[in-house]
Amino acid sequence: MNPRLFKTSAPTFLAAALLAAATLPVSAANYKVDPAHSFVKFKTLHLGFSWLHGRFNTVEGNLTFDPSAGADAQAIEIIIDTASIDTNHAERDKHLRSADFLNVAEYPTATFKSTGFDGDESGGTLTGDLTLHGVTKTISFDIKKIGEGDDPWGGYRTGFEGSYTLTRSDFGMEYNLGPGALEVEVGLYVEAIRQ
C-alpha cells in the first residue's frame, strides 16, 4: 500500500478480510482475495473546493482463521499495486504515480499485515502494519461483515468493508495540495473465496 496520496492506504482493505476470517467455520480455513471484486477506494479534498475520488484497481491477498485457536490464529495480508491508481484522469494519475506522491517506481506495492482483531463475527477493530511509500506504521480501523455463503460456481465466499483516515505526511508524502488534502479517507471492500 504505497498510496502516498491516500491516508487510508488501503487500508486498506485488510480489516474486512480479517473479520471474514473470524466468521469462518469451526475448522481452520484459508481464503484468497478475489481481485475482480475487491477494491481500495479513497477520497480527499481538492484545494478545499470539492472531493477528489479514486481507487486502486489491483488488490490481492490471503486470510486464514482457526476459531479453535483463538484470536492469535487470525492472519491476513493485503497487497495493493500502487501503479493501479485510477482517478479517471490520465494526467492526474501520472502525477500521482510520480515521486511527488506514490513514487511507484520505487514503491510498487503497499501492504497490510494484520496483528490483531477485537470484535465478533459481525465486525470489530482490525489492527496491523501498513507499509506505504516505504514507511511502516501500526494502524487500527473498523470493519464490518457484509455477508458470506455459497456462490453460483460451487465456491464459498465472504465479504467485508472497512474504513480508515490516513494522514499523508505520516507516510512521507508532503506534496502541498492545501490543508484540506492532508488527510485521505480510505475505504476497503474485500470479497474472498475459501480455498
Q: Round to whole Å and give the CA distance between 96 and 134.
A: 16
Please list the pLDDT of the chain residue by residue as tens digits (195 residues).
Answer: 433 334 444 443 344 444 444 443 445 688 999 999 999 999 999 887 899 999 999 999 998 765 444 454 467 899 999 999 999 999 999 999 999 999 999 999 999 999 988 877 777 888 999 999 999 999 999 989 898 899 999 999 988 899 999 999 999 998 887 777 889 999 999 999 999
What local confidence, expressed as pLDDT, does residue 117 receive? 84
Whole-model pTM: value is 0.80
CA separation, residue 2 to residues 59, 70, 177 (Å): 12, 31, 18
Instruction: Please check whether residue 58 is in contact with residue 47, taking contact to mean a CB–CB distance below 8 angstroms.
Output: no
The alpha carbon of residue 96 and the mean position of all alpha carbons in its chain are separated, in whole angstroms, by: 18
| Amino acid found at 55 | R
Which cell numbers in the block locate residue 81? 499495486
What local confidence, expressed as pLDDT, does residue 63 receive? 83
Q: Round to whole Å and give the CA distance between 147 and 159.
A: 5
For the chain, how big is the Rg over CA atoms in Å?
16
Domains of the chain, start order: 11-194 (2.40.128.110)
